[in-house]
Amino acid sequence: MPKVGMQPIRRQQLIKATMAAIDEVGLAEATVMRIARHAGVSAGIISHYFGGKDGLLEATMRQILSALGEAVAARRRELTTTSPRDHIGAIIDGNFDRSQVTGPVAKTWLAFWASSMHKPELARLQLVNDRRLYANLCYQFRRVMPRDEARTCARALAALIDGLWLRGALTLEGLDSDEARRLARDYLDRLLDTRDTLSPS
Amino acid sequence: MPKVGMQPIRRQQLIKATMAAIDEVGLAEATVMRIARHAGVSAGIISHYFGGKDGLLEATMRQILSALGEAVAARRRELTTTSPRDHIGAIIDGNFDRSQVTGPVAKTWLAFWASSMHKPELARLQLVNDRRLYANLCYQFRRVMPRDEARTCARALAALIDGLWLRGALTLEGLDSDEARRLARDYLDRLLDTRDTLSPS
DNA sequence: CTTTATTGATTGAACGTTCAATAAAAAAAT
DNA sequence: ATTTTTTTATTGAACGTTCAATCAATAAAG
């Protein structure tokens, strides 16, 4: 089997196997042997291509987050308007993109999120992603309301999106992405109604 | 030291130490030795009082969830009205009760939530708690809107509450429970405005 | 013949649990 | 009031298991 140019193939194979293993038994019991078995290779190969288990986990999280960012960016590129409502809607849709909310990805995402509380490297990746979402939302809200109110709306909508993800990852049936999108967009509509309830105290 | 009646004291001591350890290094590295050291006792005592590490973790989660339920129940008992808005408001306030959102408790809660994806016993506890919150919200919404719409509102508000918890557990400063309450109550106000956007498709 | 890819047995560290030993308190006996 | 016995609480070393990482050996491709 040994051919040249295996590196990108094996890396992708192992990242996919990592998500499958975490989906199956959770991060705590996703051992290198189990991951390697999922990929049909030996355990030693993980250290060879990722320097160790931590390297593989970090690469997996990085892939999930970058795919998430790309899903959002793609939807926004397709927009023809500059309306804040449409842009925020695209951000919502991107966050509930089909490829992001399937069982393995969602469960791995939640596992990493919990793990990032105590692993600095994962926390860094998570923070970058979080800041991007918040900044995007904030910028769009800012166009139709005062600064402080925009910030509050951005935090609220981001929390709802995360909450829907969280619940989707836990329920056995997985996330109903259509309903999640509907709920988030309805919340957006209500936030854009000028009612000024959320003006800062 | 050996006195009679140590059981309830040690159990409480060890549960508190468990949260402290998880807050400090995360669930993955909260070993029995570290937990025991936090409580100032030896490692063997954990198996003696809880049958093993799993028993201690389960007891810890059970305590967090029952305290959460009691915080909600207490707020509702204090109500003088039967207005749905007030009752749901009390549910929100109870969920962001001071004693629930302090660092150690919130981090432990999130760690268990993630862990419950693959530990049936923890999943059972989490499901009971989740069902209670959902049923309570649903019942109150039901009094002012049609059934399907009430269910949708209950899911949405529950997701926002969870999302605020999730973000609170991650941010270094911990959860700003006042702002969380404000956001959730504002969302409630908007949901109770009859706009019918959320009628089922 | 050299390079690249891969294996799998081995190693050492870390973990949860067990259990014989110990010590203090409570109860019983003197 | 003492002393002895029983009960309860606790320790910490030992044990077996599991894991990630290593590395010499192997095999195919260039």
pLDDT score, position B102: 87
Q: What is the DSSP string of B109-167?
A: HHHHHHHTTT-HHHHHHHHHHHHHHHHHHHHHHHTTS-HHHHHHHHHHHHHHHHHHHHH
Q: Which residues 172-191 of A have a C-beta within 8 angstroms of B?
A: 179, 182-183, 186-187, 189-191
Average per-residue pLDDT in chain B? 93
Q: Which nucleotide is nearest to B47 (CA to C1')?
A: C17
Mean pLDDT, all residues of chain A = 93
Contacts of A116 in chain B (CB under 8 A): 170
pLDDT in the model for residue A198:
63
Strand D lies under 7 A from the Cβ of residue B7: yes
Percent composition of chain A: helix, strand, coil (DSSP 3-state, to 5): 75, 0, 25
Q: Which residue is nearest to nucleotide D22 (CA to C1')?
A: A44
Whether the CB of B4 is less than 7 Å away from nucleic strand C comes out as yes
Q: How far is A131 from chain B (nearest CA, A)?
A: 12
Share of chain A above pLDDT 90, in %: 85
Reply yes or no on whether the pLDDT at B193 is more than 90.
Answer: no
Residue B61 in tokens = 């989660």
B163 touches chain A (CB under 8 A): yes
What is the CB neighbour count within 10 angstroms for residue B195?
A: 13
Query: In this structure, are residues B46 and B10 in contact, taking their beta carbons and an 8 Å threshold?
Result: no
Whether the beta carbon of B45 falls within 7 A of nucleic chain C: the reply is: no
Q: How far is the CA of A119 from the C1' of D11 (A)?
A: 34
Q: Do B186 and A156 touch (CB under 8 A)?
A: yes
Give the distance from residue B29's alpha carbon to the nearest chain A alpha carbon, in angstroms: 10
Which residues, in sequence order, are CB contacts of B27 under 8 Å at separation 6+?
A28, A114, B108, B111, B112, B115
Pick the residue of B137, B188, B190 with the most A CBs within 10 A to test the interface with A by mutation: B190
Q: Does A113 touch chain B (CB under 8 A)?
A: yes
Per-residue pLDDT reduced to its tens digit, B33-55: 999 999 999 999 999 999 999 99
Cα separation, B162 vs B174, in Å, equals 14
Give the pLDDT of residue A20.
97
Cβ separation of B114 and A114 shorter than 8 Å?
A: yes
Please name the nucleotide lying closest to A50, CA to C1'.
D21
Give the pLDDT confidence score for residue A172 in this predicted structure: 72
Does at least one atom of strand D sit less than 7 Å from the CB of A32?
Answer: yes
Distance, Å, B8 CA → C25 C1': 18
Q: Is the pLDDT of residue A1 over 80?
A: no
How many Cβ atoms are within 10 Å of B184's Cβ, its own excluded? 24
Q: What is the pLDDT of residues A181-200, one digit of tens each?
A: 999 999 999 999 866 556 55
pLDDT of B1 > 50? The answer is no
